[in-house]
């Protein structure tokens, strides 16, 4: 089979791949509603780093799902499988280095700098890094809490955003623990 044939076959296999992110009903707290999801070949953005190249060779499929807790918070979870736990740890550094943008929203202002914070304890994760970004939405102080966790050979990225008093690190840690448990549960 030609390399183009293998590429097309890998892309076809990734289409419709099972999304490994939590179902809305399985996200702690809430109630949460799923607001969109997709799967795609890891590295589809064109990264040529060694860890992404190995993930692509292993036919890694990245899962993404967005959720909303009406009137309180928005949540984003991404699961990126790597070829090994060591690659996943290196992948955290690469993912943290990617540029981040806030979605455009009427009423969004005073977006602060993303700053590294002490990560929460997350059962089931081998390594956790965390950051926080303040902003004002419709005149209310808000923030986004983001964590990058290594779970086996995967990296789980989760971002929880909403009014400053409504989103808390223990809540995000509980969500990450549920996602880690789902990834390590036998299928």
Residue-wise pLDDT tens digits, 60-96: 999 999 999 987 899 999 999 999 999 999 999 888 8
Sign of CA dihedral 111, 113, 118, 119: positive
How many other CB atoms are there within 10 angstroms of residue 6's CB atom? Answer: 11
> The domain spanning residue 82 has which CATH number?
3.40.1000
Measured CA to CA in angstroms, residue 5 lies from 9, 12, 54 at distances of 6, 11, 19
HEC profile of 119-179: CCCCCCCCEEEEEEEEEEECCEEEEEEEEEEEECCEEEEEEEEEECCCCCHHHHHHHHHHH
Q: How many domains does the chain have?
A: 1
Residues of the chain scoring pLDDT < 50: 1-16
Range of the domain at 132: 3-184
CA–CA separation, 176 vs 159, rounded Å? 10
pLDDT (0 to 100) of residue 104: 61
pLDDT (0 to 100) of residue 101: 61
Q: Where are the beta strands (DSSP E) in 29-126?
A: 33-41, 61-69, 73-81, 108-109, 115-117
pLDDT (0 to 100) of residue 103: 60
pTM over 0.75: yes
pLDDT (0 to 100) of residue 169: 95
pLDDT (0 to 100) of residue 117: 92
pLDDT (0 to 100) of residue 24: 95
pLDDT (0 to 100) of residue 125: 93
């Amino acid at each position: 089979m030609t390399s183009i044939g293998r590429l097309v076959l890998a892309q076809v296999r990734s289409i419709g791949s099972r999304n490994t992110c939590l179902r809305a009903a399985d996200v702690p707290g809430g109630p949460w509603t799923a607001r969109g999801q997709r799967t795609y070949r890891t590295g589809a953005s064109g990264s040529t780093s060694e860890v992404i190249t190995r993930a692509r060779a292993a036919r890694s499929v990245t899962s993404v799902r967005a959720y909303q807790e009406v009137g309180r918070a928005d949540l984003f979870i991404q699961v990126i499988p790597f070829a090994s736990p060591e690659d996943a740890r290196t992948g955290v550094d690469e993912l943290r280095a990617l540029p981040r943008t806030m979605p455009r929203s009427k009423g969004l202002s005073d977006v602060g700098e993303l700053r590294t914070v002490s990560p929460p304890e997350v059962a089931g994760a081998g390594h956790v890094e965390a950051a926080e970004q303040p902003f004002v939405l419709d005149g209310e102080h808000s923030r986004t809490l983001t964590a990058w966790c290594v779970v086996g050979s995967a990296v789980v990225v989760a971002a929880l955003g909403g009014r400053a008093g409504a989103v808390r690190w223990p809540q995000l840690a509980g969500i990450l623990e549920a996602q880690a448990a789902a990834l390590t549960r036998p299928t």
